[in-house]
Chain A
Amino acid sequence: MQLKRAWFWFNKNTQKLISLCILIVIYFLGIGMAVIFSKLFGVKRDIRKGWISRKNMKKGLLEEMF
């Protein structure tokens, strides 16, 4: 009986499940891309608390978006 109910629910919500799967795949792809992006362009996160000196920080030119 329960199996039948589960099958019925599955049939009724197929579209939703597929959407969810796609979303999860996109999410993981996104995170993957984010990691690559961060490695390529990212600034290493400074985990120090309190004031951090800006003296040695990489500062982009005015024309640059980073």
Chain B
Amino acid sequence: MIILGISCYYHDSSVCIVKDGRIIAVTAEERFTRKKHDNGFPSNALGFCLDSLGVNINEVDVVSFYEKPILKFDRVLDQHIRCFPRSFKMFARTIPEWLKDRLGIRKKLKKMGYKGKVFFVEHHLSHAAASFYASSFKKADILTIDGVGEWATTTKGFGDGLKINLTDQINFPHSLGLFYSTMTAYLGFRVNNGEYKVMGLAAYGEANVYREKISKLINLESDGGYSLDMKYFSYEYKDKMVSKKLCDLLGGEVRKADSKVLERHKNIAASVQELLEKVIFGMLVKMHKERSCPNLVLSGGVALNSVVNGKIINNTPYKKLFITPDPGDGGGSLGSALYTYAHLEKKRPVIKNLVYLGPDFSKFDIEGILERYSLDIDYECFSSERELIEKTVNLILKNKVIGWFQGRMEWGPRALGNRSILAQATSLKMKDIVNLKVKKRESFRPFAPVILEEYVKDYFEINGELSKSTDYMLMVYPVKEEVKKKIPAIVHVDGTGRLQTIREESNFLYYNLVKSYYKKTGIPVLLNTSFNIRGEPIVCTPKDAVKCFLGTGIDYLVIGNYLVKKRKNV
């Protein structure tokens, strides 16, 4: 049975194809259109997924959409009616979109020639399914938290074998995701893009300065749930999320995007992060009492908050945690496809590879691109992987910044070793070098490490069993005091690191690169950041990689078996 999962029209559109319970491909539309967080209909991603299996759309048995459009439309209408007439502008902007595209998913697929069934899985059920079925847990408690789905913004429940039962939900407008997004907007970052910047900024601030004021935004309910004090939020009726009352409460206007980040912004970020953690831990502690299950599955966009994720085991009774590589809307396509499979076939999907599921390019594709750019670059082909690794490690040791492009692209927001920029983590200067040469991003944002899994507990303070989600760069842990000086480029100001662990069986070449570096230096850690420049999605094709390489200060590009360097005049 071939199932095609689709998520689109909110943010991070994506497509997933599943055959007989095995994931064949998952990818986000932004990687093809080069438009970050692209929310349009994912035609390119759909084409790629079908090609991966060598089928056309008519050979697909079921298309599964990641939410129920009419239920969501119902919430949108309700919102406009309740906020009438303040919602006038928003109404005029959103309703045509709904009528034109969002309600017409069946029509759209029909136009493409698809004649089969279309299923609609609830938004939070898609989130829950993506994480639960991808986990190895037979039984687990499930918590999903995001901005908003149809009506629900947070759901809790449990998974048992095939069955997923979401027992309770918190409804819009009370939303932890939208609370965090509003504060992201207040701090001058883009909503649905800058949330991780707030998370990074929080480490610089003192939470106690704004603790009392920020705590007024969320009321903790006696049942473990929460509600927002809506007078501080205007997202129900306006595109701007911050209300005047919130500005008055915090004693200042919304920060302009290019203006300096002040001490007060850092303090606000710290309080926001602290409150988010408090609410989530509170919910989890209560939730655990219901079934006393030691396993937890987390999903929804808020599960991308790796600082919270890293603290869950220490602050709640749960012993094991799993989060899928893309717990946000980009993973909705996978969740809906997996849920549909489990529902129809009465079997649990078989998950082997959950990361490297994107586009791949042949040696000929790469050669063709290198040939095309031969006026600007010199390149050398290595016949053995060992030689390529040896040469790359030697360059890293000379403090060179390497663009690393190999095999199938990663799925999800993080670069996990197939579209990465790699450098030494041993010098604090390297952070500035990578920032200056390539990323050009805010100085307060940390860089992440990749570490050989067998050494992770020597470098990071991790209690209990290592979560599989560390493979996906979704957990932040404190760096051990005694090794901080060894790897200063990846230690954040609060002494933590958002690590990615790597094992040989998950990515042979990447693992052996880090291993080879370890053999020469005794340090099993490299700096790993996504292969892109600020404001662009991660590179997808060899052409994207060469263009990014030429347009930035990356010293060398390793693409397939080729080592590429710029010509001196470039």
Listed in ascending order, the chain A residues whose CB lies under 8 Å from chain B are 23, 27, 30-31, 34-35, 37-38, 41-43, 45-46, 48-55, 59-60, 62-66
B167, A63: Cβ atoms closer than 8 Å: no
Query: B379 contacts the other chain (Cβ, under 8 Å)?
Result: no
B343, A43: Cβ atoms closer than 8 Å: no
- Chain B residues whose CB sits within 8 angstroms of the CB of A43 once the complex forms: 71, 74, 151
Known: A48-B171, A52-B169, A54-B155. 17 other contacts (CB 8 A): A31-B91, A34-B77, A34-B81, A37-B77, A42-B74, A43-B74, A45-B82, A49-B227, A50-B223, A50-B227, A51-B168, A51-B221, A51-B223, A51-B225, A60-B71, A62-B119, A62-B343
Within 8 A of A (CB), among B62-91: 68-71, 74, 77-78, 80-82, 84, 88, 91
- Chain A residues whose CB sits within 8 angstroms of the CB of B155 once the complex forms: 54
Query: B117 contacts the other chain (Cβ, under 8 Å)?
Result: yes
> What is the CB-to-nearest-CB distance from B543 to chain A, in angstroms, rounded to a whole number?
39
A35, B224: Cβ atoms closer than 8 Å: no
| Given A38-B78, A65-B69, also A51-B174 (CB < 8 A) | no
Within 8 A of A (CB), among B120-164: 120-122, 151, 155-157
A50 contacts which of B117, B157, B225 (Cβ < 8 Å)? B225
A52, B120: Cβ atoms closer than 8 Å: no
Query: B222 contacts the other chain (Cβ, under 8 Å)?
Result: yes
What are some 17 contacts across the A-B interface (CB < 8 A)? A27-B88, A31-B91, A34-B77, A35-B81, A38-B74, A41-B70, A43-B151, A49-B227, A50-B222, A60-B71, A60-B120, A62-B119, A62-B120, A62-B121, A62-B343, A65-B69, A65-B120
- Chain A residues whose CB sits within 8 angstroms of the CB of B174 once the complex forms: 49
Query: B226 contacts the other chain (Cβ, under 8 Å)?
Result: yes
- Chain B residues whose CB sits within 8 angstroms of the CB of A62 once the complex forms: 119-121, 340, 343
Query: B570 contacts the other chain (Cβ, under 8 Å)?
Result: no
A49 contacts which of B81, B119, B166, B225 (Cβ < 8 Å)? B225
A50, B74: Cβ atoms closer than 8 Å: no
| Given A51-B225, A60-B120, also A66-B71 (CB < 8 A) | yes
| Given A27-B88, A42-B77, A54-B169, also A49-B95 (CB < 8 A) | no
**CB closest residue in chain B, given A55:** B167
Q: How far is the CA of A19 from the CA of B120 in the complex (A)?
A: 38
**CB closest residue in chain B, given A66:** B70
Q: Write the B209-239 contact mask toward A (1 if CB under 8 angstroms, else 0).
A: 0000000000101111111000000000000
Q: How far is the CA of A37 from the CA of B70 in the complex (A)?
A: 10
Q: How far is the CA of A65 from the CA of B95 in the complex (A)?
A: 17
> What is the CB-to-nearest-CB distance from A44 to chain B, in angstroms, rounded to a whole number?
9
B81 contacts which of A31, A51, A52, A60 (Cβ < 8 Å)? A31
B169, A30: Cβ atoms closer than 8 Å: no
Most chain A beta carbons < 10 A, residue from B88, B117, B340: B88
- Chain B residues whose CB sits within 8 angstroms of the CB of A66 once the complex forms: 68, 70-71, 74
- Chain B residues whose CB sits within 8 angstroms of the CB of A38 once the complex forms: 74, 77-78, 81
- Chain A residues whose CB sits within 8 angstroms of the CB of B91 once the complex forms: 27, 30-31
> What is the CB-to-nearest-CB distance from A28 to chain B, in angstroms, rounded to a whole number?
10
> What is the CB-to-nearest-CB distance from A34 to chain B, in angstroms, rounded to a whole number?
4
Query: B92 contacts the other chain (Cβ, under 8 Å)?
Result: yes
A49, B221: Cβ atoms closer than 8 Å: yes
In the A-B complex, list the 8 residue pairs whose CB atoms are closest, starting with the nearest. Answer: A50-B225, A50-B221, A49-B227, A66-B70, A51-B225, A51-B168, A34-B77, A62-B119
**CB closest residue in chain B, given A48:** B171
> What is the CB-to-nearest-CB distance from A23 to chain B, in angstroms, rounded to a whole number?
7
Query: B369 contacts the other chain (Cβ, under 8 Å)?
Result: no
> What is the CB-to-nearest-CB distance from A32 to chain B, in angstroms, rounded to a whole number?
10
- Chain A residues whose CB sits within 8 angstroms of the CB of B118 once the complex forms: 63
> What is the CB-to-nearest-CB distance from B485 to chain A, in angstroms, rounded to a whole number?
47
> What is the CB-to-nearest-CB distance from A25 to chain B, in angstroms, rounded to a whole number?
12
- Chain B residues whose CB sits within 8 angstroms of the CB of A45 once the complex forms: 78, 82, 171
Most chain A beta carbons < 10 A, residue from B74, B118, B151, B166: B74
Within 8 A of A (CB), among B163-218: 166-171, 174
- Chain A residues whose CB sits within 8 angstroms of the CB of B224 once the complex forms: 50-51
- Chain B residues whose CB sits within 8 angstroms of the CB of A63 once the complex forms: 117-120
Most chain B beta carbons < 10 A, residue from A37, A38, A49: A49
> What is the CB-to-nearest-CB distance from A59 to chain B, in angstroms, rounded to a whole number?
8
> What is the CB-to-nearest-CB distance from A52 to chain B, in angstroms, rounded to a whole number?
6
> What is the CB-to-nearest-CB distance from A48 to chain B, in angstroms, rounded to a whole number?
8
| Given A27-B92, A49-B174, also A65-B68 (CB < 8 A) | yes
B225, A34: Cβ atoms closer than 8 Å: no
- Chain A residues whose CB sits within 8 angstroms of the CB of B92 once the complex forms: 23, 27
- Chain B residues whose CB sits within 8 angstroms of the CB of A41 once the complex forms: 70, 74
- Chain A residues whose CB sits within 8 angstroms of the CB of B169 once the complex forms: 51-52, 54
Q: How far is the CA of A38 from the CA of B71 in the complex (A)?
A: 10
B78, A50: Cβ atoms closer than 8 Å: no
Q: How far is the CA of A64 from the CA of B77 in the complex (A)?
A: 19
Most chain A beta carbons < 10 A, residue from B82, B84, B168, B171: B171
Q: How far is the CA of A52 from the CA of B124 in the complex (A)?
A: 14
Q: How far is the CA of A60 from the CA of B174 in the complex (A)?
A: 23
Q: How far is the CA of A45 from the CA of B117 in the complex (A)?
A: 30
> What is the CB-to-nearest-CB distance from B557 to chain A, in angstroms, rounded to a whole number?
46
- Chain B residues whose CB sits within 8 angstroms of the CB of A35 once the complex forms: 81
> What is the CB-to-nearest-CB distance from A36 to chain B, in angstroms, rounded to a whole number?
10
> What is the CB-to-nearest-CB distance from B441 to chain A, in angstroms, rounded to a whole number?
38
- Chain A residues whose CB sits within 8 angstroms of the CB of B151 once the complex forms: 43, 46
A34 contacts which of B80, B122, B226 (Cβ < 8 Å)? B80
- Chain A residues whose CB sits within 8 angstroms of the CB of B80 once the complex forms: 31, 34
A53, B168: Cβ atoms closer than 8 Å: yes
Q: How far is the CA of A23 from the CA of B91 in the complex (A)?
A: 11
- Chain A residues whose CB sits within 8 angstroms of the CB of B84 once the complex forms: 31
Q: How far is the CA of A45 from the CA of B224 in the complex (A)?
A: 21
